[in-house]
Structure 1
Amino acid sequence: MKALQAVFIIPPKVHLLDIAGPAHLFYEAGDYGVQVTSYFAAIDPADTQVESSCALHFSNLVDYNSLQLQPGDVIFIPGMEAAILLDDAFLRTTAAFGQWLRQQHAKGVTICSVCTGAFLLAAAGLLDGRSCTTHWKYIDRLQHKYPALQVRDNCLFVESGSILTSAGVASGIDLALYMIEQLWGSVLAARVAREVVVFTRRTAGDPQISIFMQYRNHLENRIHTVQDLLAQTLHQHLDIEDIAVNAHMSARNLTRLFKRTTGITIGQYVDKLRVERATQMIGEGHTMQATAGACGLKSTNQLRFLLRKYETALPRRLEKMA
């Protein structure tokens, strides 16, 4: 698995939660075994210490020019106090930083903004012609100041190629979870969300929640354990007794608790896992036979039956496969 570099920019008067939320989630991902190296850098390379909006200081910041980022690495840019952000004189001082951002984007680095960090992306010219969002209080100001942008309101985050913008604080956490899912998969994202006791949120305009992330909006540890097991063993056939042993429960109690906690049965949950896994594999060009095996099904006929059963949930390009 490729090691990833994550750079968290610390502007003056940064909003702590904008930066601490995503940074902590990437730390948790690293704690689960993925290779992540995090860096914290000021907008002005000469600054090694920056004061946040609540007077807590960041120190030992690195010069972003010293970083050798690679395609697929990630940069997070948080929001800051409006008085600084909306100061044209300040924005003019960010020209060198904006040039560096454009260079990183050109070589394939993913750039994410949280809250009003979108203004720094706009000042760098990276949002021209793109769909984007920011904190609801500054939607109109962002659109007025940068008319070439397609600013969207009432959404948590917007993905436009390798640039992602989010609405603020909590949505920055949603964005970081989404990035973790894209980089390392839904199971890890669910584990990280569970570790920090937050739940993935999406709106109709955002990417749909993966089934590997759905039905996890609860604090029942035994059911989380079962859901992890089912997601990781789709290729196997586990009977209810095998599953119950892993949860340290009787099969009867597990059946009741799973339904009460998630709202669906274990069988329905496994079906949904299989449909999503099959959709992914077929979309990647795998054969129906290989897909059926990976989903724990004995034949392609069983797979086709399952896809027909959930036909309304399939992407349009796969409906004909059902």
Structure 2
Amino acid sequence: MRVVFLLIPRLHLLDLSGPAQVFSTADDLGFPYELRYCAEQEDIVSAQGVRLRAETAWPGAGPEDLVMVPGWRSPTLKGGPRPGRGLLARLVAHHAAGGTVASVCSGADVLGQAGLLDGRRCTTHHDLRDELAARYPRARVERDVVYVADGRVVTSAGIASGIDLALHLVAERHGPAAAARVARDMVVYARRSGEESQDSAMLRHRWHLRDAVHRAQDRIDANYAEPLRLTDLARAGGVSERTLTRQFVESTGMTPLRYQQTLRLERAEHLIGHGATVEAAAHAVGFADARMLRRLRSRVMEDTPFAPSHGATTSPRIDV
């Protein structure tokens, strides 16, 4: 299988190198891939300042091949590059001939300019999805997924999600075991499915500036499947239990207990989405049995977390 990367000026290196590493690793493991890099000019300067050399002649791609467009640095899609009509026509012709086209992050805009998003589900980086929907009203932009495949048009969210997209394509061609081998060789922690959220709880609740809360979150992130005491979390944060609880709620909108539950629930959903039973997922993330997991999955998390009892004299477990 030939993979042709279309290099756009100011492209993000990880948008390119992440998928390229996946296909290169697959090739090393015995799943043959040939990687080619082309552009409208020979020299391309990446967003990170690395200069790349590309082919200017179209290398040719058959129905079994993939053409991928990495994203680039630009605060808006409107201010991004405008490939020539010839390049856009080649994308359209490749897809019409039965080939697959894909994009990472803002690369979806190139597919939109070629008309390949019309009538299809697609996605992009969460900062750009509203603009993508406005620019291409005939597209159906998915708001919070890692990647989308629709009619041999595959689009992914920002930056690192290109790795997930490429692993998905390897799995489609060679089976999930092959993709798992590639992910293991690359030391990829978890191969995400396309329907998973772009924004995990570990990122979503890290926008605050409280060092004590960050330190407590580090402890919970690393040990969320284990019983944890508020005393130990407060010690990790260098503050009292009452101060940590107050700052945690102010910073994240939830108590340490609720934060741990959220991490457990997200990880359990990931495992279930990859074929685990509810019972197996519950035990893997630290629940004593599946009942609590079923309750958490069946109800909507409260907008305002419960307040701890100020009369408590013991150190409760951050556990369920």
Task: Mark yes or no: TM-score above 0.5.
Answer: yes
**What is the CA–CA distance in structure 2 between the aligned matches of 1:9 and 1:23, rounded to whole Å?**
12
| CA contact 2:10–2:72 (8 Å) conserved in 1 | yes
**What is the CA–CA distance in structure 2 between the aligned matches of 1:84 and 1:99, rounded to whole Å?**
24
Per-residue CA deviation, residues 260-317 of structure 1 (Å, 9 max, x unaligned), is xxx9xxxxxxx99xxxxxxxxxxxxxxxxxxxxxxxxxxxxxxxxxxxxxxxxxxxxx
Per-residue CA deviation, residues 157-215 of structure 1 (Å, 9 max, x unaligned), is 11101010001112111000000011111221111000011120125479xxxxxxxxx
**What is the CA–CA distance in structure 2 between the aligned matches of 1:94 and 1:84, rounded to whole Å?**
19
Q: Does 1:109 align with 2:99?
A: yes
Q: Which residue of 2 aligns with 1:49?
A: 43
Q: Which residue of 1 aligns with 2:2?
A: 5
Structure holding more helix per residue: 1
2:174 to 179, 184, 198: 184
Instruction: For residue 64 of structure 1, report the CA deviation from its aligned partner.
Output: 4.5
**What is the CA–CA distance in structure 2 between the aligned matches of 1:51 and 1:37, rounded to whole Å?**
23
Per-residue CA deviation, residues 112-138 of structure 1 (Å, 9 max, x unaligned), is 100010000000111111111010001
SS of the residue aligned with 2:127? Answer: helix
SS of the residue aligned with 1:34? Answer: coil
Q: Which residue of 2 aligns with 1:258?
A: none
Q: Does 1:200 align with 2:183?
A: no
Pairing 1:13-28 to 2, within 5 Å after superposition:
13-28=10-25
**What is the CA–CA distance in structure 1 between the aligned matches of 2:160 and 2:75, rounded to whole Å?**
22
SS of the residue aligned with 1:58? Answer: strand
- Tell me: CA distance 1:204–1:17, structure 2 relative to 1, closer, same or farther (3 Å): closer
Kindly tell me the number of residue pairs found equivalent between the two proteins: 202
Q: Which residue of 2 aligns with 1:86?
A: 78
Moved over 6 A (4+): none
Instruction: For residue 87 of structure 1, report the CA deviation from its aligned partner.
Output: 2.8
- Tell me: CA distance 1:157–1:203, structure 2 relative to 1, closer, same or farther (3 Å): closer
- Tell me: CA distance 1:84–1:149, structure 2 relative to 1, closer, same or farther (3 Å): closer
**What is the CA–CA distance in structure 1 between the aligned matches of 2:76 and 2:150, rounded to whole Å?**
26
Instruction: For residue 86 of structure 1, report the CA deviation from its aligned partner.
Output: 2.2
Q: Which residue of 1 aligns with 2:265?
A: none
**What is the CA–CA distance in structure 1 between the aligned matches of 2:76 and 2:52, rounded to whole Å?**
17
Q: Which residue of 2 aligns with 1:58?
A: 52
Two-structure CA RMSD over aligned residues (Å) = 2.5
Per-residue CA deviation, residues 76-102 of structure 1 (Å, 9 max, x unaligned), is 1111011584237x42x4322111100
What amino acid is aligned across from residue 197 of structure 1 in structure 2? V
What amino acid is aligned across from residue 43 of structure 2 in structure 1? Q
SS of the residue aligned with 1:8? Answer: strand
What amino acid is aligned across from residue 170 of structure 1 in structure 2? A
Which stretches in structure 2 are left out of the alignment for 5+ residues?
198-267, 269-275, 278-320
**What is the CA–CA distance in structure 1 between the aligned matches of 2:57 and 2:95, rounded to whole Å?**
14
SS of the residue aligned with 1:119? Answer: helix
**What is the CA–CA distance in structure 2 between the aligned matches of 1:83 and 1:10, rounded to whole Å?**
19
**What is the CA–CA distance in structure 1 between the aligned matches of 2:145 and 2:57, rounded to whole Å?**
31
SS of the residue aligned with 2:3? Answer: strand
TM-score w.r.t. the length of structure 1 is 0.59
Q: Which residue of 2 aligns with 1:291?
A: none
- Tell me: CA distance 1:134–1:28, structure 2 relative to 1, closer, same or farther (3 Å): same
- Tell me: CA distance 1:112–1:191, structure 2 relative to 1, closer, same or farther (3 Å): same
TM-score w.r.t. the length of structure 2 is 0.59
Q: Which residue of 1 aligns with 2:36?
A: 39
| Percent sequence identity over aligned pairs | 36
Instruction: For residue 24 of structure 1, report the CA deviation from its aligned partner.
Output: 0.6
Instruction: For residue 68 of structure 1, report the CA deviation from its aligned partner.
Output: 2.4
